[in-house]
Amino acid sequence: MLSLTKKSDAQPVAAARWHTNFRNFERLPDTKVVRTTFFVNTAAIAIAAGLLLWLASRELTNRGIQEQIAEARSQIESNRKQNAEAIKLTKTFADEQKKLAEAASFVNAPFSLLDFIDNVGQTLPPEIVIDYIESRMLDPKKSIVSMRGRAAGSPDLATGIASAYVDQLRADANFSKLFDPITLVRIDRTPNGTYMAFEVSLNLKPAK
């Protein structure tokens, strides 16, 4: 047995047969059950479909945003018109309310403006012309009567006449009883130089 084993082990190994391989693998047909091009095409189609879905989703989102923006602009424009109309009505109401307040103040004034004008006319010096009288009685603590007029003569003479007229108003019993202080606010030469324009402010005394 020992000799037989050694004999079989000593037999030479047969050399592998060799022959030239003439196969062209690039031109051989694909014999796979599922071809490689199938996977490539499937992957390309899936990627293209995914991109299309993504683009469609973006387009829908953008369209929705544009519609929301258009709706918001329409709402803003509508609110702007309503706001402008409300501001206009508020201004109209405020103007009318101011007129009513002025009328109420005029009716409830502590003196008669007609009597005041009558007293001014009776005590007015011949060298002075009154052009404008305004009463502001909305604020009881700051009720003022303003008079604007002109004094004839040279600048120095007209200035003296206007100052003397203010002193006359202060000394008059009817005016001093109602007004304090009585102030010469300004005196300026008129553009033609014929008169000196002046303004007198008469502050109504607060009611006791």
**Could you say which of 1.10.10, 3.30.70, 3.40.720, 2.60.40 is the CATH number of the domain covering 113-204?**
3.30.70
**85-108 per-position pLDDT tens digit:** 889 888 888 888 888 877 776 666
Domain locations along the chain: 30-108, 113-204
What integer pLDDT is reported at residue 75 of this predicted model? Answer: 86
Pick the more confident residue, 36 or 69: 69
Q: Is 181 left (phi over 0), alpha (psi -120 to 50) or beta?
A: beta
Q: What's the average model confidence in pLDDT over 138-143?
A: 68
Please tell me the pTM assigned to this model. 0.47
How many angstroms separate the CA atoms of 13 and 11, rounded?
A: 7
